[in-house]
Amino acid sequence: MIINPNKLSSDSKQIANHNEQFDHLASRLSKQNIEVPSLVDKLAAFQVAIPSWALGAGGTRFGRYSYFGEPASLEQKLEDIGVLHSLTRSAGAVSLHIPWDIPTDYKAVKELAFELDLRFDAVNSNTFQDSVGAKHSYKFGSLSNTSIGARQQAIAHNKEVIKIGEKLGSKSMTVWLADGSSFPGQHNFQTALSNTQDSLKEIYKSLADDWKLFIEYKPYEPYFYSTVIQDWGTSFMLANQCGEKAYTLVDLGHHLPNTNIEQIVSTLMFKGKLGGFHFNDSKYGDDDITVGSIKPYALFLIFNELVYGMANNPQNPELSWMIDASHNLKDPLEDLIQSLEAIQITYAKALLVDQDLLKQAQKEHDVSLCQEILQEAYLTDVRPLVRQARLKLNAPLAPLQTYRNLGVREQLIKERGKNTVATGL
């Protein structure tokens, strides 16, 4: 399904209403010496990749409630992302997961993506599940396995993912290594780490010069005692061992309770080692729920570091942004629209922070003022700025409402039926 662009324009009343809100805000911000047009340009330019596995319903170990009209093929997944991009103009990239999304016809897939205005961002390997007919199981690990056979199979898989990515025009691969142990004693930590280091180096050798390797970390799950790459420190250490094209990837849900994530982001940018960033939100663990639905202020503080780093740390690459959420209760497309909205809103707020004033207040240890400066930006209702960016891009002012008004889900069900199941979790 591809939405007819004519259906995406807002009506004149909506636009008049928006203009009034925007003008009022822009006038206020201009008095604070904020360059509103360039801020809107930044918002318009910000694009987040959608992973190909996020278009269907997710589940928990206790079960999964299926969603109607799920995409049954890679082409349908791309179409869903195309819908998102049409509605928001901020989802202009796709992040493929191998082996769930191996193209059968590369040319056709690339043409479809081009038509939908989608880039292929980082490709993702998968060694946390066994493929049918695989010689070696990953039950006890892949890149870290004590069995050389399992390690070599996992290395070969990663190399294959890079090749697939190259054919599609991707420029990076993300390795989320689920490897770990569920019981004390199961792993020799040093062996597991050493094997992982060697395996990653081997994979790294296959990277073309203009490619990047993103190493993700996570403290627990699917294993319940240890994870080989448990924290940013381990990822950073491994990336340094691999070389200049290896970076750490931060996923918001992959931290222990109370972690100060914004400081980790800042440290990695300071060191030029932040490569990728996965958005989601959570209250307890890696809950993978809608961005900004639980801790929007923490997200703002993280964005504040990202904005600062993008302006001050040219040693980092352009970041690969992705939404890594799961959709157990909501329509996946609605959920993703809400996540995209939350990302844009939070980015806009972070762009409002008066960095010069903040630096001065920090220098003078004026803690109350430091707080005021952040709060001033955070409390501002920036939705008119986000809408202005959409208007510039010919996207509807209210994507979720438009999605509902157009009956997109009903249309998808009509096309695909109620029993399709998207590959994924």
> Which member of 4, 6, 33, 62 binds a second copy (CB under 8 A)?
62
SS3 184: coil
Q: In the numeric block, which tokens belong to residue 200?
A: 């990653």
Interface region with a second copy, contact rule CB under 8 A, candidates 83-91, 101-109, 176-184, 315-323:
176-184
Contact indicator for 350, 303 with CB cutoff of 8 Å: yes
The angle formed by the CA atoms of residues 270, 232 and 273, to the nearest 5 degrees, is: 35
352 binds a second copy (CB under 8 A): no
8 binds a second copy (CB under 8 A): no
* Closer by beta carbon to a second copy, 82 or else 399: 399
182 binds a second copy (CB under 8 A): yes
187 binds a second copy (CB under 8 A): yes
30 binds a second copy (CB under 8 A): no
**Distance, first Cα to last Cα, the chain:** 23
* Closer by beta carbon to a second copy, 120 or else 176: 176
Kindly state the smallest distance separating residue 305's Cβ from a second copy, in Å.
Answer: 7
> Which member of 30, 131, 146, 405 binds a second copy (CB under 8 A)?
146
> Which member of 101, 251, 324, 331 binds a second copy (CB under 8 A)?
331
> Which member of 87, 335, 352, 408 binds a second copy (CB under 8 A)?
335
* Closer by beta carbon to a second copy, 62 or else 210: 62
Q: Which residue stretches of 353-395 are H helix?
A: 355-363, 367-379, 383-392
Contact indicator for 85, 92 with CB cutoff of 8 Å: yes
Beta strands 180-181 and 226-227 are: antiparallel
User: Residues 198 to 217: which contact a second copy by CB under 8 A?
Assistant: none
Interface region with a second copy, contact rule CB under 8 A, candidates 90-98, 137-145, 388-396, 406-414:
137-145
63 binds a second copy (CB under 8 A): yes
322 forms beta bridges with 49, 278
Say how many CA atoms lie within 13 Å of 158 toward its Cβ.
29
* Closer by beta carbon to a second copy, 92 or else 180: 180
* Closer by beta carbon to a second copy, 171 or else 335: 335
11 binds a second copy (CB under 8 A): no
SS3 227: strand
> Which member of 359, 394, 417, 421 binds a second copy (CB under 8 A)?
359
186 binds a second copy (CB under 8 A): yes
Backbone angles phi, psi at 297, to 5 degrees: -75, -40
312 binds a second copy (CB under 8 A): yes
226 phi-psi bin (left φ>0, alpha ψ -120 to 50, beta other): beta
Kindly state the smallest distance separating residue 210's Cβ from a second copy, in Å.
Answer: 27
Kindly state the smallest distance separating residue 278's Cβ from a second copy, in Å.
Answer: 16
Contact indicator for 64, 328 with CB cutoff of 8 Å: yes
> Which member of 41, 105, 221, 356 binds a second copy (CB under 8 A)?
221
* Closer by beta carbon to a second copy, 117 or else 287: 287
133 binds a second copy (CB under 8 A): no
The mark string for 254-293 relative to a second copy (x by CB under 8 A, - otherwise) is --xxxxx-xx--xx-xxx----------xxxx-x-xx-xx
Q: List all residues 6 or more positions away from 156 whose beta carbon is below 8 Å from its beta carbon.
A: none
232 binds a second copy (CB under 8 A): yes
Contact indicator for 380, 352 with CB cutoff of 8 Å: yes
| Number of residues forming the site for a second copy (CB under 8 A) | 107
Contact indicator for 58, 425 with CB cutoff of 8 Å: yes
Distances 405 to 149, 397, 399, 408, 411 between C-alpha atoms, Å: 54, 13, 10, 8, 11
Residue 56 one-letter amino acid: G
Kindly state the smallest distance separating residue 79's Cβ from a second copy, in Å.
Answer: 21
Burial 205-231 (b: 16+ CB within 10 A, else e): ebbeeebbbbbbbbbbeebeebbbbbb
